[in-house]
Amino acid sequence: MRTKRARSATRRRLTLDSDALINLESDALKIDESVAHVRLNILLRLLAAFFAALVLTHAPVSHARAQSRRKATPKKTRTQVAARTDAGTAAQLARAVELLQAGKRDEAEPIVRAVVAVAPSNPDAHALLGIILDQRGLAREAEAEYREAIRLRPKSVAARANLGVLLARTQRFDEAVEMLRSVLAGAPDHPQATFNLGVALFNLKRYEEAEALLNSPPAITQSAPEVFYYLGLIAAARDRAEEAAGYWQRALALRENYPEVHFALAEELRKQRRYEGAVEFYERALAEDPARVVYHVRLGGVLMLMSKYERALEVFQRAAERFPASAEVQYFAGIAARGRGDFETAETALRRSLALKSDNVDALAQLGFVVGERGRDAEAEVLLRRAVALDARHFYANYDLGRLLVRARRYVEAIAVLEGATRIRERDAGVHYQLFIAYTRLKRAADAERELALFKQFEEERKARRARGEEEQIEDTLPPPAPR
């Protein structure tokens, strides 16, 4: 059976099912970098067994005994009332668990809150309320409930384990590690805590410790596909590409539809400039989980690195339909259209991107270029100067502004801007070529000769880098502007 899981490319998943309570999962995603931060989605697992034990421990008084007319001593009466109360509380919590298992969180929450109100010293009620709040994304409130459960029952494995995951989700990895270690101190073979501690250490780039934990029997037996996925990420981070691929293939053998693994394989192939293979795995990840923006972006990006701008534009336009509020998707659609030479489409997409995120320097710089190529130089200059004002070290904004000034024959201004661009990217051939033109027009022969020599040197270096298969920025793969 095909399964679909909404997770990101560089997933940092943390699962906890302490005392059969809960399973939490985290998700790291940043479009331009892997592993930027952690976001957890909470998935409920087998809770009934935990609370069934409570019900059995606090069995209700029998009907026959309740109907008895015998007079009890005050102490015995109080004991019976307490037993009935405890049994009722356990039954209510068990009912809340059943509702949660059925996906009826909104019905379960008032039951748990009612138990907390009448039995505020019940640690299980606070732990379960913490789970519900965690599911709702209320991290601060959930943390308070977990900590209250721990205060009431200091050795609670479940509350500590789930709090450890929450701390990791909020990027407090050092605290998460401490909390999860406390779980393992009392329960050394706790599978979810072992796995999650390994993931937290991975996020701290403590790869050796993370690898040792994830290779241990408790982690492997708990969640083998996920463990192999993370072991692959660790191997990749330590430049052991072949070993990483082996781990990911083992994960896929256990779970055929695993978009995070397909994405990880694609990322590794992209780093090796094996773009055709990367496209195949990006497409698999996207087919399995189209809800991830990063899958669309990476697929379109590698197509642009292959100069397949038309296909890239199709990918980004479909993504724009699915994620109309994403400034990044609109931006990439714009540069894909630019690469194809469709400046009208590029301008429309870039303006949409800026409407969503007005201070997007990359979009401003690209729009300045596109508008200039469409012959509206004055407007282009305004856009490019605005981009430079927002980020004085944005190379393309400076370069295109300098090129625009050269074209306008404002050579002295152009030289000042272009020399600034060389301080950002000294070895860029294009900027030295523009300086060569400006100095030539000003009849500064020595300066022009120097810039021409630098242009030739850095152009040869660029060709050598390409021959060695070194990674390029997408902007560097775009066709150069047509001479005007």
DSSP string spanning 301-313?
A: HHHHHTT-HHHHH
pLDDT grade, residue 81 (50/70/90)? very low
Is residue 12 predicted with pLDDT exceeding 50? Answer: no
pLDDT grade, residue 218 (50/70/90)? confident
- Cα three-residue angle 94-159-166, rounded to 5 degrees: 115
User: Average pLDDT for residues 297-311, to the nearest whole number?
Assistant: 95
Q: Is the dihedral of CA 47, 49, 53, 59 positive or negative?
A: positive
User: Average pLDDT for residues 100-119, to the nearest whole number?
Assistant: 92
Instruction: Give residue 484's pLDDT.
Output: 61
Rounded Cα–Cα distance for residues 472 and 114 (Å):
59
Tens of pLDDT along 258-286? Answer: 999 999 999 999 998 899 999 999 999 99
Is residue 161 predicted with pLDDT exceeding 50? Answer: yes
Is residue 414 predicted with pLDDT exceeding 60? Answer: yes
DSSP letter assigned to residue 27: E
Is residue 40 predicted with pLDDT exceeding 50? Answer: no
Rounded Cα–Cα distance for residues 67 and 107 (Å):
33
Is residue 128 predicted with pLDDT exceeding 80? Answer: yes
Instruction: Give residue 235's pLDDT.
Output: 96
pTM of the model: 0.75
pLDDT grade, residue 241 (50/70/90)? very high
Is residue 120 predicted with pLDDT exceeding 60? Answer: yes
Instruction: Give residue 27's pLDDT.
Output: 27
pLDDT grade, residue 19 (50/70/90)? very low
Instruction: Give residue 313's pLDDT.
Output: 97
Percentage, residues of the chain above pLDDT 90: 70
Instruction: Give residue 166's pLDDT.
Output: 94
Is residue 215 predicted with pLDDT exceeding 70? Answer: yes
DSSP letter assigned to residue 8: -
Is residue 8 predicted with pLDDT exceeding 80? Answer: no
Counting DSSP H helices and E strands in the chain, the numbers are 26, 2
- pLDDT, the chain, mean: 83
Is residue 2 predicted with pLDDT exceeding 60? Answer: no
Instruction: Give residue 388's pLDDT.
Output: 97
Instruction: Give residue 482's pLDDT.
Output: 66
Percentage, residues of the chain above pLDDT 70: 81
Lowest-pLDDT range of 46-60, 360-374, 464-478: 46-60
Q: Which domains does the chain have, with CATH numbers?
A: 13-219 (1.25.40.10), 394-484 (1.25.40.10)
Task: List helix spans (H) across 361-428.
Answer: 361-373, 377-390, 395-407, 411-424
User: Average pLDDT for residues 188-209, to the nearest whole number?
Assistant: 93
* Cα distance between the two ends of the chain: 58
- 105: phi then psi, degrees, rounded to nearest 5: -60, -40
Instruction: Give residue 44's pLDDT.
Output: 32
User: Average pLDDT for residues 240-249, to the nearest whole number?
Assistant: 95
Between 45 and 234, residue with greater pLDDT: 234
Instruction: Give residue 56's pLDDT.
Output: 29
Is residue 6 predicted with pLDDT exceeding 60? Answer: no
Closest CA to 19 of 123, 109, 136, 121: 123
Lowest-pLDDT range of 49-63, 76-90, 197-211, 222-236: 49-63
Instruction: Give residue 466's pLDDT.
Output: 78
Tens of pLDDT along 438-447? Answer: 999 999 999 9
Between 28 and 475, residue with greater pLDDT: 475
User: Average pLDDT for residues 117-128, to the nearest whole number?
Assistant: 93
Instruction: Give residue 141's pLDDT.
Output: 96
> Which residues lie closer than 8 Å to 291 by C-beta, 6 or more apart?
6
Tens of pLDDT along 85-103? Answer: 577 888 899 999 999 888 8
Is residue 124 predicted with pLDDT exceeding 80? Answer: yes
Instruction: Give residue 483's pLDDT.
Output: 62
H or E stretch at 257: none
H or E stretch at 41: strand 39-43
